[in-house]
Amino acid sequence: MFTIDDLADRLGGYLPPEEILQVKRAFYYAEQAHDGQRRRSGEPYVTHPLAVANILANMHMDHQSLMAAMLHDVIEDTGITKEALAHQFGDPVAELVDGVSKLTQITFEDKAVAQAENFQKMVLAMSKDIRVIIVKLADRLHNMRTLGALRPDKKRRIARETLEIYARIASRLGINTIRVELEDLSFQAIHPMRAERIKRAVTKARGNRRSMMRQIQDSLQKCLDDDALVGSVVGRQKHLLSIYRKMRDQRKPFVEIMDVFGFRIITDDVDTCYRILGAVHNLYKPVPGRFKDYIAIPKANGYQSLHTTLFGPNGMPIEVQIRTREMEAMANNGIAAHWLYKAGQTERPIGAGSHARAREWVRGLLEMQRHAGNSLEFIEHVKNDLFPDDIYVFTPKGDIMELPGGATAVDFAYTVHTDIGNSCIACRIDRHLAPLSSTLESGQTLEIITAPGARPNLAWLNFVVTAKARSAIRHAIKHQQRTESVQLGRRLLNRALGAFETSLEELPEPRMAAVLDELELKHEDDLLESIGLGTRMAYAIARRLLASTEPASAEEVATSPHSGGPIVINGAEGMVISFARCCYPLPGDPVIGHLSVGKGIVVHRHDCGNLQELRDDPDKLFALEWSQQIDQDFPVALRLHVETRRGLVAELAGLVTDADANIERIGIEERDARLSIVNLTLAVHDRVHLASIMKRLRNLPHVGKITRVRS
């Protein structure tokens, strides 16, 4: 059984004696705190924190991380407080322990919400000290190693969470040794039979492949020796989940997956890496398009290496990774390598760059957390952000930006900065104008064009792929909708108050406060927003604000919608004024507004048949009039009776374009061999523009009757 003395002996290799004593003191404190507690397996509970500390010792983590590992369940499972830990071991250790601890004092409605809230709490702690997640990963790894004592359903639930969140975070932070083991243990818990069959097949195949592996390894080593290149060649083992995913995704049998031989060549410096690459390419022919230089362009988690695939003996593929010893340490331990230098093992922090990138990633998580509606939405964003296939694009200044595969120009804009994403209107890809929805490819240079006052488009959510872009767009649209709803609500309430010859500005503040209190609202803007969205009637609120409890007279009801005159619209009000698709109102048409719950005002033509049932409810209808300054296009539907002939659609499209209009939709219904009906949806400026287009269409010899579609 592994003991604290065994751990102390291991720590002696890289920690000074006084720090080892502090780790031992933390162990004895935890042992006393957990006295009498046992794990499901029957072992004393303190064996778990000791094992977690041992995992961190393998990564040469600092003494405070090891102390936090010893104490990480003390706050959660015993009566000891964070303040008591801070008094005994200092604030940094207490903060680390608190960051890993679950929210035990709050009762949640279900497990999903509890997990999401706990993860959110951990992210906030990570923003202060990134070591929180390293301790948590070690804790989760030991829990996965000891899943055997749990029920099968609980095993699967924990394994899925591990696979979706913690294994991906380990990968994102470059801690490959933990990632691989978490993935394999999760796979074995979720699919035990599949894992066992693959494990047996791997063991069998490894025996059959041993001589071939040794032959290729010897030839690679001889190639290095002949060219006087310093480097050691080691065989690379595939892990279970990787094999399973390739079999499933590439639809390949096990034999084809195992036919690929993998090797890693470790050398001393970057220059030798490239010289070794040339040597192995001389030994075996490289497979075209399979070379990747992660030294020049590292992955987001700091991973660096040269990857190449070769045609080996008898044409069998050989995958080779070439890296320095420092890169090997980074590949295995990721940001944990940042603490190696403190033990004096290197002159500079190995993982310093990775540590900075990790902190940048955590800052991104915090931004997502602020924009998310709740903890469940936040954790979905995190899942989506972990772990895409990456592409690399360049800014106009030559800086490299990493994005997930399938990312668009909008994703790039939000990656640069949220404000740039919110105000982008166009982009140039390799100096050519391109749509914002364009899917990016590695190597492209991207320039984002912004404009003051520009706002995110709801349609962007249909094509963005990064969690940061998605959460920022949703946040901006929610804010935009609230702002516009408040503005509309203010206009509607002032019109209603106009019937009583007063306005919102003239009301005494205590009266507004009393009404907000009655309605259980915190701010005046909350009330105005609900009016703008149609969930409260402006006239009813006006009477309540004036402390009038008498029912409105017929004359008041009849005149209230017209108080203060019609609402002026210019088509650019945003999300709280929309235009009905049943009657397609245009500037110049007599219009009326219908207050729809959750949408605000929907503009209809005055004679729209769909408003018939609402005409007796004046509180839901509003007099509207068009602004004199309108600078946008509006859709309108036309129905054309035409003679069927070749080239008709092209002729119509050309005429509409010449008339400075756009065709949004076109459909043709054949009545018989001679006659057809063309349904056109155009974007036009106003009624005058539409009349001009209809006149041009009537002049076509094959066009008969033209009508504007009415509901």
Positions marked catalytic: 76-77
Question: Which of helix, strand or coil describes residue 213?
Answer: helix
Token digits for 126?
């990570």
CA pair distance 697, 680, nearest whole angstrom? 12
Torsion angle of C-alpha atoms 507, 510, 516, 518, degrees rounded to 10: -120
CA pair distance 457, 412, nearest whole angstrom? 15
CA pair distance 106, 677, nearest whole angstrom? 65
Q: What single letter denotes the amino acid at residue 645?
A: R
How far is residue 265 from each of residues 276, 311, 525, measured CA to CA in Å? 9, 17, 64
Token digits for 293?
């230089």
Is residue 355 within 8 A of residue 335, CB to CB? The reply is: yes
Taking residue 22's Cβ as centre, other Cβ atoms within 10 Å add up to 18
Token digits for 524?
């005046």
Token digits for 284?
């075996």
Angle between helices 176-190 and 325-333 (to 10 degrees): 40
Token digits for 592?
């009326």
CA pair distance 543, 493, nearest whole angstrom? 10
CA 592 to chain centre: 41
Query: For the chain, how far is it from start to end, CA to CA, in angstroms?
Result: 82
Q: Give the burial class of 471: count Cβ atoms within 10 A of its Cβ; 0-12 exposed, 13-18 middle, 19 or more buried.
A: buried
User: DSSP readout, 137-163?
Assistant: HHHHHHHHHTGGGS-HHHHHHHHHHII
CB contact set of 555 (below 8 Å; sequence gap of 6+): none
Token digits for 165?
């969140």
Is residue 659 within 8 A of residue 696, CB to CB? The reply is: yes
What region does 229 belong to: left with phi over 0, alpha with psi -120 to 50, or beta? beta
Token digits for 106?
């709050």
